[in-house]
Amino acid sequence: MALTVAAVLGGALLYFSIGGALQTYVSPAQLLSSTPGQVYRLDAIVSQQPVVNPQDQADSPRGLRFWVQDKQNASARVLVIYTGLVPDAFKATREVVVTGTRSGNTFIAQRNSMITKCPSKFVNQPDPPAPAKKS
């Protein structure tokens, strides 16, 4: 009996500890063909558009509304409605990941779920030339 209780408690602990990691990452193209109502992590590029005072908009009852596009297919676009903290790096052409659900062709983001992916400062660059040997 004690072994059964331990197994159930261990399973519950495992389920709750990794539950957030089980959300599926999707692109806008994949999202548009997905099941509405399920929780997804939308990974996309912020489309070129005028976004003025994004934090003020995200704090409003209407929320910040912006378009994102697929990384491989710019014509696959989704409207995102977001509330909460907006990362400083948020801007057009920046890659973002937002957690939420699809409602029609709109993505309703969970509050404070946006992260931005910054371009790496550590891209592959050629090695610098070796210093000249002193004789």
For residue 3, the tally of other CB atoms under 10 A from its CB is: 7
Q: Outline where 26-125 has alpha helix (H).
A: 28-32, 54-59
Q: How confident is the model at residue 135 (pLDDT cuts 50, 70, 90)?
A: low
C-beta of residue 16 within 8 angstroms of C-beta of residue 10: no
Whole-number pLDDT of residue 10: 59
Whether residue 56 is contained in a domain is answered as yes
Phi, psi of 4 (to 5 degrees): -65, -45
Whole-number pLDDT of residue 122: 54
**Joined tokens for residue 128:** 């610098």
Question: What would the pLDDT profile of 91-134 be if each residue is shown by its tens digit?
Answer: 999 999 999 999 999 999 999 999 998 776 555 666 666 666 66
Question: What would the pLDDT profile of 3-50 be if each residue is shown by its tens digit?
Answer: 665 565 555 554 554 444 567 999 999 999 998 889 999 999 999 998
Which has more pLDDT, 54 or 22?
Answer: 54
d(CA 47, CA 65): 12
Whether residue 126 is contained in a domain is answered as no
CATH code of the domain covering residue 112: 2.40.50.140
C-beta of residue 52 within 8 angstroms of C-beta of residue 80: no
Whether residue 17 is contained in a domain is answered as no
Whether residue 112 is contained in a domain is answered as yes
Whole-number pLDDT of residue 14: 47
CA dihedral for 74, 93, 32, 106, sign (positive or negative): negative
Which has more pLDDT, 120 or 78?
Answer: 78
The number of folded domains in the chain is: 1
Whether residue 48 is contained in a domain is answered as yes
Whether residue 122 is contained in a domain is answered as no
Whether residue 86 is contained in a domain is answered as yes
Domain range for residue 95? 23-117
> What average pLDDT does the structure give for the chain?
84
